[in-house]
């Protein structure tokens, strides 16, 4: 499976380290994409985010509900995180997705005639590491050219109103960050486009 990706990030002004992190990793024949936002900002937020990304990286082959449980157990005693994780599966031509907290997810259809042309990936309320959430993953079909956008709360949710879907993933991530970062928190945008199997 080929996924083209782009990531753009910005630490809160005055902070040396961002608490918003991402991971893109090959998992079998598929690809996992994750965005993690440590609660608050600064060093403690970054430590929680690094711990979550480490767990996701080490256990990426596990089913998403099990992966979230592992994250929760590992993060007890930290500030906690919010996150969204997606797995692209070329065999079934699906994307399986799970989100806890306010990491926004949006899937843009590559086929201009597809209905609907975009799918909002609704998260459940909660904080991984502070309260255990029981959530079933959502599975959506994907086709060549479909583009996933994951954005932390340092990006204004209005970013979805002015997207330029023809941009390459890195250019799209850079554009969203430049035009929609609130500069009141760490900010990160991950763009992942399914190019083909």
pLDDT tens by residue, 111-143: 877 778 899 988 899 999 988 877 889 999 999
pLDDT at res. 115:
78
Q: Report the CATH number at residue 189.
A: 3.60.40.10
Find the Cα–Cα–Cα–Cα dihedral 54, 60, 64, 66, rounded to 10°.
Answer: -70
Residue 86 has, within 13 A of its CA and on its CB side, a CA count of 29
Structure tokens at 158: 């209005």
CA distances from 3 to 26, 53, 69, 87, 114 (A): 10, 19, 26, 11, 20
Q: What is the domain extent for residue 113? A: 2-196
85-98: pLDDT as tens digits: 999 999 999 999 99
Q: State how far Cα 20 lies from the chain centre.
A: 10
CA distance 42 to 186: 9
Residue 146 and residue 90 in contact, taking contact as beta carbons nearer than 8 Å: no
Distance from chain centroid for Cα 81: 12
Q: Structural domain tally of the chain?
A: 1
Dump pLDDT digits (tens) for 1-55: 899 999 999 999 888 899 999 999 999 999 999 999 999 988 999 999 999 999 9
């Amino acid at each position: 499976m080929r996924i083209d990706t782009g990531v753009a990030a910005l630490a809160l002004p005055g902070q040396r380290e961002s608490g918003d992190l991402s991971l893109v990793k090959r998992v079998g024949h598929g690809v996992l994409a994750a965005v993690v936002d440590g609660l608050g900002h600064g060093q403690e937020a970054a430590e929680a985010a690094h711990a979550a990304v480490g767990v996701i990286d080490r256990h990426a082959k596990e089913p998403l509900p099990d992966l979230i449980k592992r994250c929760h157990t590992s993060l007890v005693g930290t500030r906690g995180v919010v996150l969204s994780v997606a797995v692209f599966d070329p065999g079934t031509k699906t994307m399986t997705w799970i989100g806890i907290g306010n990491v926004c997810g949006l899937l843009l259809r590559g086929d201009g005639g597809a209905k609907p042309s975009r799918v909002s990936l609704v998260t459940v309320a909660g904080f991984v590491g502070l309260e255990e959430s029981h959530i079933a993953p959502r599975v959506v079909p994907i086709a060549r050219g479909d583009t996933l956008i994951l954005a932390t709360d340092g990006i204004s949710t209005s970013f979805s109103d002015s997207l330029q879907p023809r941009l390459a993933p890195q250019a799209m991530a850079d554009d969203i960050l430049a035009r929609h970062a609130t500069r009141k928190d760490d900010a990160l945008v991950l763009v992942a486009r399914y190019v083909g199997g």
